[in-house]
């Protein structure tokens, strides 16, 4: 991961804003409450966390990422955005991070956010299973990521797929099916919608219990 991002991190936010679509919609709609904690898993340069921290001054934000290089840029970005005191960052994997050990938290997160990270994580199922151990009962898992491109021309889908292959990114329509299965198993309630004719999807899973 560090090999890929060592140079990329410097142009990451500038280039990705044109194709990591739906992130700002999700951020604008996220109903973060005062006193809540939110952790972004695979936070990258933490541009989402900076925006969230500015919009929600009464909440605390955390980010974990596999790449030390990305977190170097993230740390600079948080300081420049003036939110360094409310955004804590740590190098860790989606499959086994621990909010208590990393950040000294006494309780589980109210919300977890996966923004264009699950499409890069081959062990996505392990990452999501692990997410259930890190979010409190009654908390939320939010996802924005590439959709199945079903509403877009097939040439566009092939072009995008070719481009994303370079970054080890995969469309993963199976994630929606996985959450549907979790809902049937009584683990919570899913809401799902497509963004821009299936370019991206926005998914929220409210975990059972409170």
Ligand X SMILES: C[S@@+](CC[C@H](N)C(=O)[O-])C[C@H]1O[C@@H](n2cnc3c(N)ncnc32)[C@H](O)[C@@H]1O
Site of interaction with ligand X (CB under 6 A): 1, 16, 20, 23, 42-44, 47-48, 65-67, 70, 93-94, 115-117, 120-121
Contact between 130 and 96 (Cβ < 8 Å): yes
Dihedral in degrees, nearest 10, Cα atoms 61, 63, 68, 70:
-90
Rounded distance, CA 25 to CA 45, Å? 18
Contact between 193 and 201 (Cβ < 8 Å): yes
The least CB distance from residue 209 to ligand X, in Å, is 26
CB nearest ligand X: which residue?
A: 44
- Please, which residue, 28 or 185, has the CB nearer to ligand X? 28
The least CB distance from residue 43 to ligand X, in Å, is 5
- Please, which residue, 37 or 67, has the CB nearer to ligand X? 67
The least CB distance from residue 90 to ligand X, in Å, is 10
The least CB distance from residue 122 to ligand X, in Å, is 8
- Please, which residue, 90 or 152, has the CB nearer to ligand X? 90
- Please, which residue, 30 or 120, has the CB nearer to ligand X? 120
């Amino acid at each position: 991961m560090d090999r890929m991002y060592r140079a990329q991190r410097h142009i990451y936010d500038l280039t990705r804003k044109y194709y990591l679509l739906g992130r700002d919609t999700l951020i604008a709609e996220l109903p973060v409450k005062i006193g809540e904690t939110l952790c972004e898993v695979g936070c990258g340069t933490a541009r989402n966390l900076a925006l969230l921290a500015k919009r929600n001054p009464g909440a605390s934000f955390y980010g974990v990422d596999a790449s030390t290089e990305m977190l170097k840029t993230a740390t600079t970005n948080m300081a420049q955005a003036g939110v360094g005191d409310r955004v804590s960052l740590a190098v860790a994997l989606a499959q086994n991070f621990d909010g208590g050990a990393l950040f000294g938290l006494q309780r589980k997160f109210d919300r977890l956010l996966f923004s264009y990270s699950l499409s890069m994580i081959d062990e996505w199922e392990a990452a999501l299973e692990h997410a259930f151990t890190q979010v409190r009962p009654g908390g939320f898992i939010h996802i924005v990521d590439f959709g199945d491109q079903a509403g877009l021309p097939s040439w566009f889908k092939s072009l995008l797929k070719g481009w994303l292959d370079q970054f080890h990114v995969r469309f993963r329509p199976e994630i929606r099916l996985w959450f549907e299965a979790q809902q049937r198993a009584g683990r919570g309630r899913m809401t799902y919608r497509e963004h821009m004719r299936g370019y991206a999807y926005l998914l929220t899973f409210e975990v059972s219990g409170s």
